[in-house]
Amino acid sequence: MKSPRSISCGGESVAWIGPGLLDQAASRLPSDSGRFLLVSSAGPAVPAERIRCALAGRLLLDLRIDDREESKTLEAVRAIADAALEADVRRDDAFVAVGGGVVSDVVGFAAAVVLRGVAWSAVPTTTGAMADAAIGGKTGVDTPAGKNLLGAFHPPRVVLIDPAALETLPDRDYRAGLVEAFKAAWIADAALSDAAEASAKRLLAREEESLLDLIAGAVRIKAAIVTEDLREGDRRRLLNFGHTLGHAFEAAGGYRALRHGEAVAWGIAGALEISSRRAGLPAADAERIRRMLQRLGPFPEPDRNPGRLEPYLRRDKKSTAQGLAGVLLERVGHARVEPAIPIEEWLGAATGASLKS
């Protein structure tokens, strides 16, 4: 077995990537006290079971939580915090979040506020969470006013990425999550993008080495960006490529019609339109990306109704009177932030967004 790769994610934060890590949890996950608070998705139980065994005798808490987007609430944070306090959590204990993005967002936020901050680590069980969530320390919950409106910057000490954690992940989620990994390559690393596109067939067949190469590349890109820009300056915004329309598509579908990664795929398709017009993105580059997204799909059609999308765009945190900032691609591997794109232009791109060649 190859030894795992480690990627520094800034500060004390590190990602370990490789096969066999789940069973090494006891030696890989830090806890100053040696005690852990395990919080795992109520859904797929296999990865959590392996972590549970690895940490046997050291678990102060073993809590299962609902991992659907509608459960990403302050009430969920409260429930975790109350259970931890009930178990007499101390400042030198550590949380471990096993699950997808919702689980790490909620557990990371709970870890940020319990006793004003306790360490935590993430064991992602989806491709999306491996490529994107947890790294960088953005934690948070939704409120009736919108997504991720309450939260904290609280980076995990360790992100443990083991392909075995994906074993029971449905194919639709596996593919949707890869969109986030490709996104990282497209905004910042043409060579990674070349390699990943070349190994697309093996990736889709869940071939471990190709998958880990892409995930490690995406983690490295995200880690480099967030290390130089922990709060959300312009560099960090590049990671939002495809997310402006993506969030609107996702919200218009009530967070049920589309997986997050699928909505981002449609958002990227829209951003390609604007990038061709405003940032001189070569047609061949746009075509390459569309073709790759097609192979990751087919994705369900989004709701393109401008009347449905517009309120979500206007309510975006980056919205001003001049329009809404967006991330544009100049060519594969190079993105930039455009500070103000009129809402009408976004709506036009939403209508035109296509994954057909």
- Name the residues annotated as catalytic: 116, 138, 180, 222, 232, 236, 240, 243, 247, 260
Exactly one of 117, 280, 298, 300 binds a copy of itself (CB under 8 A); that residue is 117
233 binds a copy of itself (CB under 8 A): no
Short-list 64, 71, 58, CA closest to 32: 58
The distance of closest approach from Cβ of residue 79 to a copy of itself in the complex, given in angstroms and rounded to an integer, is: 11
Residue 121 · residue 159 · CB < 8 Å: yes
Q: Is 143 in the site for a copy of itself (CB under 8 A)?
A: yes
What distances in angstroms separate CA 274 from CA 118, 133, 287, 293, 321, one per listed residue?
Answer: 43, 26, 14, 17, 19
Q: Does residue 155 belong to the site contacting a copy of itself (CB under 8 A)?
A: no
Residues linked to residue 31 through DSSP beta bridges, in sequence order: none
- Closer to a copy of itself at the Cβ: 51 or 81? 81
Distance CA 337, CA 331 (A): 13
User: Closest separation between CB of residue 85 and a copy of itself, Å?
Assistant: 4
Residue 234 engages a copy of itself in binding (rule: CB under 8 A): no
With contacts defined by CB under 8 A, name the span among 42-50, 100-108, 140-148, 281-289 that binds a copy of itself.
Answer: 140-148
DSSP state of 301: P
Nearer to a copy of itself, 109 or 312 (CB): 109
- Based on the shown chain and the rule CB under 8 A, indicate whether residue 113 belongs to the binding site for a copy of itself: yes
Torsional sign, CA 225, 231, 235, 241: positive
For the segment 78-107, give every residue that binds a copy of itself (CB under 8 A). Answer: 78, 81-82, 85-86, 90-91
Which residue's structure tokens are 């390459």? Answer: 288
Instruction: Count the Cβ atoms, other than its own, within 10 Å of residue 343.
Output: 16
Q: Which is nearer to a copy of itself, 119 or 269 (CB)?
A: 119
Q: How many residues would you count in the chain? A: 357
We find the least distance from the C-beta atom of residue 148 to a copy of itself, in angstroms, to be 8
Question: Residue 159 corresponds to which tokens in the numbers above?
Answer: 């992100």
Q: Of the candidates 153, 195, 199, 303, which one interacts with a copy of itself according to CB under 8 A?
A: 153
Q: Is 230 in the site for a copy of itself (CB under 8 A)?
A: no
Q: Output 116 or 356, the one with its CB closest to a copy of itself.
A: 116
Distance, in Å, from the CA atom of 97 to the CA atom of 330, rounded to the nearest integer, reads: 37
State which of residues 1, 145, 283, 284 lies at the interface with a copy of itself (CB under 8 A): 145
Residue 225: count other Cβ atoms within 10 Å of its Cβ.
21
Task: Give 14-81 as a DSSP string.
Answer: EEEESTT-GGGHHHHS--SSS-EEEEEESS--HHHHHHHHHTTT-EEEEEEE--SGGG-SHHHHHHHH
CB of 180 to a copy of itself, least distance (A): 20
User: Of 258, 165, 259, 262, whose CA–CA distance to 206 is shortest?
Assistant: 165
Residue closer to a copy of itself by CB (options 1, 321) is: 321
Task: Find how far residue 170's CA is from the centre of its chain.
Answer: 17
Q: How many residues bind a copy of itself (CB under 8 A)?
A: 29
317 near a copy of itself, judged by CB under 8 A: yes
Least Å distance between CB 114 and a copy of itself?
6
* φ and ψ at residue 95, rounded to 5 degrees: -80, 150
* Contact between 340 and a copy of itself per CB under 8 A: no
The residues of the shown chain that bind a copy of itself, judged by CB under 8 A, are 74, 78, 81-82, 85-86, 90-91, 109, 112-117, 138, 140, 143-146, 148-153, 231, 317
